[in-house]
Amino acid sequence: MSIEVRDVNKRFGQFQALQAIDLHIQSGELVALLGPSGCGKTSLLRIIAGLETPDSGSIVLHGEDVSSRDVRDRNVGFVFQHYALFRHMTVFDNVAFGLRMKPKKLRPSEAVIAAKVHELLNLVQLDWLADRYPEQLSGGQRQRIALARALAVEPEVLLLDEPFGALDAKVRKELRRWLARLHEDVHLTSVFVTHDQEEAMEVADRIVVMNKGVIEQIGTPAQVYANPASEFVYHFLGDANRLQLDEQRSVLFRPHEVRLSREPQADFLAGEVHGIRPLGALTRVTLRLAGHHEPIEAEVGHDHPGLVGLGRGERLYFQPVPSAQAQPSAG
Amino acid sequence: MSSRSTSVIPGFGLTLGYTLVYLSLLVLIPLGALFLKTTELSWAQFIAIVSAPRVLAALKLSFGTAFAAAVLNGVIGTLLAWVLVRYRFPGRKIIEAMIDLPFALPTAVAGIALTALYAPNGPIGQLATDLGFKIAYSPLGITLALTFVTLPFVVRTLQPVLADIPREVEEAAACLGARPLQVVRHVLLPALLPAWLTGFALAFARGVGEYGSVIFIAGNMPMKTEILPLLIMVKLDQYDYAGATAIGVLMLTVSFILLLAINLLQRRIAHG
Amino acid sequence: MTTASLPVSADARATTTRRGKQTARRLLIGAAWLTFALFLLLPLLIVLGEAFKQGVGTFFTAILEPDALAALKLTLLAVGISVPLNLVFGVAAAWCVSKYEFRGKSLLVTLIDLPFSVSPVIAGLIYVLLFGAQGYFGEWLSDRDIQIVFAVPGIILATLFVTVPFVARELIPLMQEQGSTEEEAARLLGASGWQMFWHITLPNIKWGLIYGVVLCTARAMGEFGAVSVVSGHIRGLTNTLPLHVEILYNEYNHVAAFSVASLLLALALVILLLKQWSESRIARLKTGAQP
């Protein structure tokens, strides 16, 4: 099931939430809507779901314009940021809800519903929690139950609003890998909203980078990282240093795009070591440059020869080596 | 996400329409009739009615005793709210549950109970008589009756606010060298004032209009212990609808002006 | 509560403060108990004391007397009509206020609360002005032989007026806090509007609803001023229980008055229990709510 967003505009009072959004999502793709808070990504997701009506433009699911179709007839699965589990129902009843709400003619028997619910709970590996209430579950468990509930009605599109936003860092990592694997298994066209670039890079087939209600760039993780369409995308996708070369020219480079040396070398610049922070495989060195306001951050392998015996206040030479394509093409 | 869509959750037209029709039929149109009725009076007639000495005396009494009761509630309500939120002690649950008794108890029952208590032959009334003053059949009795029926307002508006002020705030202030009374003055009172004013305003508004609990204990002597709502009743018994209406309009107007003033004061505190 | 201003060691000052706090604590708890006993407990006890002054027999005679039973019946009727009507109103009002944004919303909320700031006597008066013999619809009604004021319909109208806000007032903050995402989730899962309301909204607001109904019942049962204006004070016909108490009291039949009053007191205590119970359920709902 493909998703097409055609020239969608949305305003909330004076605030332009979305402006001329065009987006085409292939059947079976897993797409991330990435951007800072307030960029319109959640509004776009809600418009695709039918929870919000665009001021203009249309939503086309599998070649069919569904803009005027009621939310219950769009056949989309939606996972809310805070899951929106029905707090007065057990996990089982939560997952069964969509099946039980079907019109009498289409409603499966309770036995079929039970089988289906257990199948889904097995899929999310939480069958043993069927009789619990949402308040008795951990955040990660709620998340997976919300997913099972959304899948119960066999949607053709799965939409997830900040699916990992409310979880702590460790659970977050586990769950997003699990979601990526699940997507490979069910192969449902899926769109998820996130403000975390690492999450988008790790999970998505394609990333839609948004800012201030417009799409900045659409591409695979490798494309948007290697060929950022704008300085915004460049900055949003990872840490960046800006080095002022002269009045007009400056160079952008990521912390790992740097060479370090204890000795002065041609084309190397001198800096004073301000901080050394081991981060596991990498070590981050913060350098202060004379006449430069912002410090430069460099990340090198923890076994880099230049680090041996290095202390604060010492002099260190560095050379930015930005990959040529990574320079944002505009802005 | 704070925006709500009108398309997904149905029932806007139905519920809003029903709400407006119901309110109009039951509340707005009847209240409109009150103001319509006063237009039958000329301005001079209206002034003559509301400036009659008996009306002015009742006006003073009603607003005065309601104000006194609200102030008294401001003190004991704060005490009760503080103790209920901050301390755990035997009987706390009983007090907590019984605070709302004045809301659950029919006001007429409160009225005769308080009269029995404060009348010269009642247990407390006797004590007062021995000390040389009287409670029932005096403005003091009215004030006490109003204090009883409006007791829950201040307690209930203060409790959640007090519970929300983390103890850490007080402790932080104490760590910065503030003495306990300074903590109360500079930390607690400013935080509590808006809620306190809300409770005060609710108690005051209720007190001005209160009838059932007061008429038994008031003695209802014209010029001395006759409250405004009773005066409306008296006029009605004399089939003086215009008079009753004029007093009603006077009462509503003064109440609204005072509540508006309290509201403005509250906003100034909140923003200042 | 005071600390010495002389230079004392920090330790000594801390001890003084702690001891001061302990004393303050005891004083305040004592004062709260005293206030409670004086303002709440004593009136309650005096009602019971007066009611049973001449034994259980007179108490039962007073409350089983036909006029008292008729008053009880009328009170139940007024409660039975006004509570369900204001319940439906409360749900509808809370629904439109909490689920949608629209202009004039805060004005609407103020209007819903309006009956709370109108004296009950005025609440009665307005219906007399509308439906009384000299009222705006008086002639029209008397031509058709319909009596509203000084009859049962007037009593019900007055009771309705004073109890309008109770349910709405409890539900509006509760529903605003709960938000709409569960309802949205239900719609996305294919629920119709009514299915969403019955299966999702109603169970979520159940305890708040019960709480509002309890408060509404208390007021409807005990309303005096508004009902007093529109009641004909006809024994056995247009007297509610509180009005019956007044009549007995004014006839110096104090024991009977307090007997009926203690019946109302017992109902009030039941209401307090129900209130406490629904409140604890709401508290549990809130603490169990998802983050």
Residue A214 and residue A204 in contact, taking contact as beta carbons nearer than 8 Å = no
Run of H or E residues at B170: helix B167-175
Round to whole Å and give the CA distance between C273 and C283: 15
Chain A residue set in contact with B, beta carbons under 8 Å: 12, 42, 46, 50-53, 70-71, 81
Q: Chain A partners of C186 at a C-beta cutoff of 8 Å? A: 86, 97, 101
Ranges of beta strands (E only) in chain A are 3-12, 15-25, 30-34, 56-61, 64-65, 76-79, 157-161, 189-194, 206-211, 214-219, 241-244, 250-253, 258-261, 269-279, 282-288, 296-301, 315-320
Chain C residue set in contact with A, beta carbons under 8 Å: 181-182, 184-192, 195, 199-200, 203-204, 285, 288-291
Quick one: how far is CA A301 from the chain centroid?
Answer: 27
Q: Is B237 on the interface with C (CB under 8 A)?
A: no
B5 → closest Cβ in A42, A53, A81: A53
The pLDDT confidence band at residue B220, using thresholds 50, 70 and 90, is confident
Round to whole Å and give the CA distance between C122 and C137: 18
State residue A309's pLDDT score. 83
Contact C125 B102 (CB under 8 A): no
Q: Chain C partners of A85 at a C-beta cutoff of 8 Å? A: 182, 185, 290
Q: CA of A175, closest CA in chain C: separation in Å?
A: 19
B113 → closest Cβ in C47, C157, C273: C47
Q: Is B7 on the interface with A (CB under 8 A)?
A: yes
C125 → closest Cβ in B34, B98, B212: B34
ipTM for this prediction: 0.88
Average pLDDT over residues C28-54: 91
Residue A142, classed as helix, strand or coil, is helix
Which of residues B90 and A293 earns the better pLDDT score? B90
A101 → closest Cβ in C181, C191, C291: C191
Radius of gyration of chain A (CA): 24
Q: What is the pTM of this model?
A: 0.86
B8 → closest Cβ in A42, A71, A81: A71
Average pLDDT over residues B58-87: 94
Q: Which residue of C has its CA nearest to B105?
A: C268
Which of residues A13 and B113 earns the better pLDDT score? B113
SS (HEC) of chain C: CCCCCCCCCHHHHHHHHHHHHHHHHHHHHHHHHHHHHHHHHHHHHHHHHHHCCCHHHHHHHHHHCHHHHHHHHHHHHHHHHHHHHHHHHHHHHHHHHHHCCCCCHHHHHHHHHHHHHCCHHHHHHHHHHHHCCCCCCHHHHHHCCCCCCCCHHHHHHHHHHHHCHHHHHHHHHHHHHHCCHHHHHHHHCCCCHHHHHHHHHHHHHHHHHHHHHHHHHHHHHHCCHHHHHHCCCCCCCCCCHHHHHHHHHHCCCHHHHHHHHHHHHHHHHHHHHHHHHHHHHHHHHHHCCCC
- For chain B, list the contacting chains (3+ Cβ pairs, <8 Å): A, C
Q: Is B8 on the interface with A (CB under 8 A)?
A: yes
Average pLDDT over residues B148-174: 85
Q: CA of B272, closest CA in chain C: separation in Å?
A: 23
* Whether the predicted pLDDT of C162 surpasses 90: yes
The pLDDT confidence band at residue C14, using thresholds 50, 70 and 90, is low
The lowest-confidence range among C47-56, C97-106, C232-241 is: C232-241
Of the ranges A163-167, B56-60, C173-177, which is most confident? B56-60
Q: What is the pLDDT along chain A (331 residues), one digit of tens a residue?
A: 899 999 999 998 888 999 999 999 999 999 999 999 989 999 999 999 999 899 999 999 988 999 888 888 888 999 999 889 999 999 999 999 999 999 999 899 999 999 999 999 998 889 999 999 999 999 889 999 999 999 999 898 999 999 888 788 888 888 888 888 888 888 889 999 999 998 999 899 999 999 999 999 999 999 998 888 888 999 898 888 888 877 787 888 888 888 888 888 888 888 999 988 988 889 999 999 887 888 889 998 888 888 888 888 888 999 888 876 656 654 4
Q: Is B188 on the interface with C (CB under 8 A)?
A: no
State residue A25's pLDDT score. 94
Q: Which residue of B has its CA nearest to A72?
A: B8
State residue B1's pLDDT score. 35
* Whether the predicted pLDDT of C1 surpasses 70: no
Q: Which residue of A has its CA nearest to C185?
A: A84
Round to whole Å and give the CA distance between A138 and A166: 11
Contact C188 A78 (CB under 8 A): yes
Q: Is A171 on the interface with C (CB under 8 A)?
A: no
CB pairs < 8 Å spanning A and C: 75
Q: Chain A partners of B6 at a C-beta cutoff of 8 Å? A: 53
Helix axes A91-100, A110-123, angle to 10 degrees: 120
**φ and ψ at residue B268, rounded to 5 degrees:** -65, -40
Strands A64-65 and A56-61: antiparallel
Average pLDDT over residues C169-180: 90
Interface test with B, best of A42, A52, A59, A79 (most B CBs within 10 A): A52
State residue C11's pLDDT score. 64
Contact B5 A51 (CB under 8 A): yes
In this predicted model, what pLDDT tens digit does every residue of B224-253 receive, in sequence order? 899 999 999 999 989 899 899 999 999 999
Round to whole Å and give the CA distance between B41 and B48: 10
Residue A70, classed as helix, strand or coil, is coil
Report the 10 Å Cβ neighbour count for A184.
Answer: 10
Q: Chain C partners of A88 at a C-beta cutoff of 8 Å? A: 203-204
In this predicted model, what pLDDT tens digit does every residue of C219-262 receive, in sequence order? 999 999 999 999 877 777 789 999 999 999 999 999 999 999 99
Which token pair is A322?
């930005």
State residue C276's pLDDT score. 87
Percentage of residues of chain B with pLDDT beyond 70: 97
Contact C189 A98 (CB under 8 A): yes
Which token pair is B255?
């109440």
- For chain C, list the contacting chains (3+ Cβ pairs, <8 Å): A, B
Buried b (16+ CB within 10 A) or exposed e, C174-190: bbeebbbbbbbbbbbbb
Percentage of residues of chain B with pLDDT beyond 90: 54
Round to whole Å and give the CA distance between A322 and C287: 52
Which of residues C1 and B61 earns the better pLDDT score? B61
State residue B2's pLDDT score. 36
C118 → closest Cβ in B113, B180, B209: B209
State residue C13's pLDDT score. 62
Residue A60 and residue A4 in contact, taking contact as beta carbons nearer than 8 Å = yes
Which token pair is C19?
């001891």
State residue C289's pLDDT score. 47
Q: Chain C partners of B233 at a C-beta cutoff of 8 Å? A: 121, 228-229
Q: Is A140 on the interface with C (CB under 8 A)?
A: no
The lowest-confidence range among A133-142, A180-189, B122-131, C8-17 is: C8-17
Round to whole Å and give the CA distance between C188 and B165: 39
Which token pair is A246?
């002269």
Residue C117 and residue B259 in contact, taking contact as beta carbons nearer than 8 Å = yes
State residue B5's pLDDT score. 43
**φ and ψ at residue A258, rounded to 5 degrees:** -155, 150
Overall size of chain C counted in residues: 291
**φ and ψ at residue C61, rounded to 5 degrees:** -55, -45
Contact A142 C289 (CB under 8 A): no
For residue B61, the one-letter residue type is: L
